[in-house]
Amino acid sequence: MIKNLRVKSSEYIDETNRISFKFNGKTYHGFKGDTLASALLANNVHLVGRSFKYHRPRGIMTSGSEEPNAIVQVNPGTNRTEPNVRATEVEIYEGLEASSQNCWPSVEFDIGGINNFLSPFFPAGFYYKTFMWPASFWEKYEFFIRHSAGLGKSPTSSDPDIYDHRNIHYDVLVVGAGISGILAAKNAAKNNFKTLLVDEKNELGGSTIFENNEFNKIDNKTPSEWLKKEIEEIKNIKNLEIKTRTSVAAYHQYNYLLARENLTDHLEAKDKTNKIRQRLLKIRAKKVILATGALERPLIFNNNDRPGIMLSSAVKKYSEFYGVACGSKNVFFTNNDSAYESALSLYNKGINVEAIIDIREQSESKIVKKVKAAGIKIYWSHSIVDTAGYKRLNSVSIMKLSNDGTSVTGSKISISCDCLGVAGGWTPAVHLYTQSGSKLKFDEEKQIFLPNQNTSEQISVGSCGGDFKIDEIIKNLNHKLKDTLNIKETDLDNINVEIDQENSKRNIWLLPSDKPLGKTKPFVDYQNDATAKDIKLALREGFRSIEHVKRYTTTGMGTDQGKLGNMHALGIIADTAGVKMGELGTTTFRPPYTPLTFGTIVGRNVGKFFDIFRRTPMNDWHVENKAEFENVGQWKRAWYYPINGETMHQAVQRESKAARESAGILDASTLGKIDIQGSDASEFLNRVYTNAWSKLAIGKCRYGLMLNEDGMVYDDGVTTRLGENHYIMTTTTGGAANVLGKLEDYLQTEWPELDVYLTSVTDHYATASLCGPNSKKILKKIIPNLDLSDESFPHMSYKEAKIGNIQCRIMRISFTGEHSYEINVQASYGIDLWEKCMEAGKEFNITPYGTETMHLLRAEKGFIIVGQDTDGTMTPIDLQMDWIVSKKKYDFIGKRSLYRSDTMREDRKQLVGLLTEDPNVILEEGAQIVSELNQSPVEMLGHVTSSYFSPNLNKSIALAVVRGGKDMMGKQLFVPMENKNINVTVANPVFYDEKNERLNA
């Protein structure tokens, strides 16, 4: 029978709204307003998971996002399942299912639990020490590690939910809606600052909202009562937007913050559909007010991790906010007054408090006196030396602490209990603060890191800024607000605060036990099972940097980033190494503060929106005609057009033959096109291409090679002179954007005196490339009145014409070596142009061909493809294209580099042709080339860059770059492959129609 520990109704729990949910397959009940953690605790369930390394039973430790232990899989087995969710953050709803992680077969009986008893064999750095040798065993180790580790399971089908991104801008962003955040937001908004207040929880008010300590009063009300009134007030302020369930994940420079807004996770499945689940808010704020609060520290003592051991503040919150008693016999263990507030809160609700164990010698504050008066036993100067209870705490053993705090004496007292609230003081939540690049300073007196040097317009207020008492909080908040918002008065000026709080504290990072450290398990990082002795071992082994110790021991490397134990790790290192905390520095807190789903990160960029792609105006035709496509940059290009079940090889062989024997047609619309105008256009081309342009007649085309300033080939293409001051440049498909960028760069920064205007017109034109011996006849049919004679329209020239009413530019240029025309029309007419060509070409068996055939045809001619035959290390000389480098021009981009000693070396890799001894053997692109077979190691002379079987030559051909290849004509080389060596001969890279007779055929 499950005992119900719901002790008293709470205004935040709707007891009329009973909710059933499942945990590890068992049905439980809770109420609207419960988190999974509070509902489980109300059902007396503490054991919720197993630790990562030792598989020790673990319980709920906190009530917030810092939870290290209660990590669950939500809705397991569904496509909405999510691993590594903190039970303390899951709001329950009807039908919710959750299960424990990191245990098999069940959390109650976990085989991995054996690791706990083997723990002497799992010291710090265990993985590094054990699994590194011998290397060949790695696969076996990996199997072992993957099966025994594994935090949760990812869904196996696609995510049904919608995610969103939104950019928002505010004058003031307030992070955290506790008392400081609420007051800051209120005053900012009232002073006409457009303000956003966010909080990760579903209710405003932070911890003050359940602060009913009778010794603290604001305007004669308890802090809780007073704050509720403030909350009502801010809900109606113009200029103030409030977002709950919104967790700031990252704080970047320039006050750019990312927050996740959770919109449907708390809803039943039927209410989740067709709604945005989570939204990533990209927030720009002129000023940021961090009011992120503080996290309570645990204490580090032997076996401090058993289910039932919790933070004192969490025990209090479960009682005050959720109306849940975490145990029936409660004990507190503390080094400050906080535990007394928790104890009193329980006492006032009639929950049994057995004792308080305080490591301090004494405290005489009002609250301590009150606890004493209530008859709760207090053990001063005592420490817990051990705890008992495997799946649930059942007792603690305490002993007297020595004056220096390093040892225990006297006899051991055992106290029976089922819940232990631990209070080790407070750590300001400075995670976001440091993410922004701002710097911390260690306060030796308070033993905390505090904001010190801000890098942007930001302030840290409340306890994240180091103020823990309400009077200090309000006083300093008031002063900081006036300063940062530049305002004279606030409504904090007249608040009357009476408090009786003491900050007395005895800080001991690692509490001693009667057993030596080696025989104890004082956990520092609960999720990763790093203990104090692991940290000390790392130091003994010579690790000094805090970042190294962190990685070696895995402290702070879990999904919780060690929010609870990081300070203790630092403290233990400082104490052991004998240095001051301030000198040690901190580890880096990295975004996200709490884990984000992949959905939130990618937002709408999923499925077909994952990446941008571009289609040509003729795309539909290619699809209808069953083309296979390839990605070229962002373009989808027709690759080849298989018919009757042809393989790619068969299709390409057929297309290649057809293009040379009769007619082929290629969609060349993707080539980059840049419109160049201005009175200095010719001079500009002279400077950016290696060859001369001034004398190019209007109506003529010229091939150009563009270099980088280092002399290496960058891009190529044909440029046509349309008018006196007007050119159209074509670039490679992939290089278009970069070429435009480079040209603009030179124009704006080096040659601003040139009168030149560049416009990208790639998308404005559709281009069909008509090639083959019958191309002329086909074009004649389409445009009967155009004079296509070689005299009127020779190779490398251009004409304006009309196809019906469609204006077109026709260039007689060729990338295949065949007589061919590139016909450009306005993009919207692309499909008409294509269909007209197909119709007119029917009698010549016009064959559409794709990029693969284009590559093959140009390889037969030895034409390079920049990016395939070149790789940013090839000069025009290396490519044996000396003919295109002007000797007369005084300067052009990259010219000087062609005369550097290194670029003039004779033994550079040079472009050559390769022919295989067996004409049927096709080389692999990328294959290595050597000149010796019986030598090891052997020098790699180069590699194959392009390789095809040429149907027109009926043999295999290849282009390659070979060291000193220019002088190797006819020499035999070898291409060693896995199973065989292929004999090849160096050849002229122009394999077909060397005299270019077909261009005019």
Q: Which residues bind other proteins (CB under 8 A)?
A: 252-254, 256, 284, 437, 455, 709-710, 741, 744-745, 748-750, 752, 890-891, 895-897, 899-901
| Spatial separation of the C-alpha atoms in residues 112 and 57, rounded to whole Å | 11
CB 443 within 8 A of CB 505: no
CB of 169 to other proteins, least distance (A): 10
Q: Which is nearer to other proteins, 99 or 731 (CB)?
A: 731
Bond from prior residue into 592 cis (ω within 30 degrees of 0): yes
- What token pair was written down for 911? 């472009």
Tell me if residue 584 falls in helix, strand or coil: helix
CB nearer to other proteins: give 146 or 887.
887
Q: Which is nearer to other proteins, 437 or 582 (CB)?
A: 437
Q: Output the smallest distance, CB 963 to other proteins, in A.
A: 22
> Closest CB to other proteins among 285 and 833?
285
Residue 475 or 895: the one with the smaller Cβ distance to other proteins is 895
Q: How long is the chain? A: 1001
The sign of the dihedral angle between the CA atoms of 988, 989, 993, 994 is negative
Question: How far apart, in whole angstroms, are the C-alpha atoms of residue 864 and residue 911?
Answer: 9
DSSP 8-state code for residue 700: B
Contact 198, 246 (CB under 8 A): yes
Q: How far apart are CA 662 and CA 788, in angstroms?
A: 18
Residue closer to other proteins (CB basis): 700 or 889: 889
Shortest spacing between CB 326 and other proteins, in angstroms: 43
The two structure tokens encoding residue 4 = 């119900």
Q: Residue 833 carries which side chain, given as an amino acid letter?
A: L
Min dist CB 13 to other proteins, Å, is 41
> Distance between CA 546 and CA 525 in Å, rounded?
15
Q: In terms of CB distance, is 348 or 897 closer to other proteins?
A: 897
The count of C-alpha atoms lying within 13 angstroms of the C-alpha of 681, restricted to the half-sphere facing its C-beta, is 23
Of the candidates 167, 166, 175, 165, the residue with the CA atom closest to the CA atom of residue 196: 175
Rounded to the nearest whole angstrom, what is the least distance from the CB of residue 199 to other proteins in the complex? 24
* Cα gap 833→845, rounded to integer Å: 17
Partners of 387 in the beta sheet? 396
- Among residues 445 and 753, whose Cβ is nearest to other proteins? 753
Structure tokens at 65: 């996002």
User: Angle CA(769)–CA(772)–CA(773) in degrees, nearest 5?
Assistant: 140
Peptide bond into 951 cis (omega under 30): no
CA dist., res. 378 & res. 371, Å (int): 9
Name the minimum Å distance from CB 896 to other proteins. 4
Nearer to other proteins, 877 or 930 (CB): 877
Task: Return the H-helix or E-strand segment holding 261.
Answer: strand 256-262
The minimum distance between CB 611 and other proteins, in angstroms, equals: 16
Q: How far is the CB of 738 from other proteins (least distance, A)?
A: 11
Shortest Cβ distance from residue 455 to other proteins (Å)? 6
CB of 897 to other proteins, least distance (A): 7
Closest CA to 640 of 847, 798, 440: 847
Q: Which is nearer to other proteins, 1 or 612 (CB)?
A: 612
627 SS3 class: coil
In Å, how far are 103, 331, 691, 774, 935 from 708, measured between CA atoms?
59, 74, 14, 39, 38
Question: How far apart are CB 740 and other proteins at their closest, in Å?
Answer: 9
Determine contact, residues 343/356, Cβ cutoff 8 Å. Answer: yes
* Shortest Å, Cβ 616 to other proteins: 23
Per the CB < 8 A criterion, the answer to whether 774 and 662 are in contact is yes
Nearer of residues 253 and 807 to other proteins, judged by Cβ = 253
Tokens standing for residue 76: 């397991």
In whole angstroms, give the CA distance from residue 149 to residue 582: 35
First to last CA, the chain: 97
Q: How far is the CB of 437 from other proteins (least distance, A)?
A: 6
CB of 250 to other proteins, least distance (A): 10
- The sign one gets for the Cα dihedral 475, 480, 482, 483 is positive
CA distances from residue 30 to 223, 641, 745 in whole angstroms, order as listed: 28, 63, 65
Burial of residue 647 (number of CB atoms within 10 Å: 0-12, 13-18, 19+): exposed
Q: For other proteins, give the closer residue by CB, 123 or 678.
A: 678
Smaller CB distance to other proteins: residue 15 or 745?
Answer: 745
State which residue, 144 or 254, has the beta carbon closest to other proteins.
254
Q: Name the residue among 16, 1, 40 with its Cα closest to residue 324.
A: 40
**Long-range CB contacts (< 8 A, 24+ apart) of 469-473?**
469/499, 469/501, 469/503, 470/179, 470/208, 470/216, 470/218, 470/223, 470/497, 470/499, 470/501, 471/497, 471/499, 473/179, 473/180
Complex with other proteins: residue 138 or 254, whichever CB lies closer: 254
- Closer CB to other proteins, 168 or 577, in the complex: 168
Q: Determine the Cα–Cα distance for residues 515 and 529; give it in Å rounded to an integer.
A: 20
In the complex with other proteins, which residue's Cβ is closer, 220 or 748? 748
Q: Is 135 exposed, middle or buried (0-12, 13-18, 19+ CB in 10 A)?
A: exposed
Closest CB 731 distance from other proteins, rounded Å: 17
Question: Shortest approach of other proteins to residue 254 CB, angstroms?
Answer: 5
> Do residues 313 and 338 lie in contact, with contact meaning Cβ atoms separated by under 8 Å?
yes
Q: How far is the CB of 263 from other proteins (least distance, A)?
A: 24
Short-list 790, 772, 833, 781, CA closest to 808? 833
CB of 253 to other proteins, least distance (A): 5
- Identity of the residue, 56 or 673, whose beta carbon is nearer to other proteins in the bound complex: 673
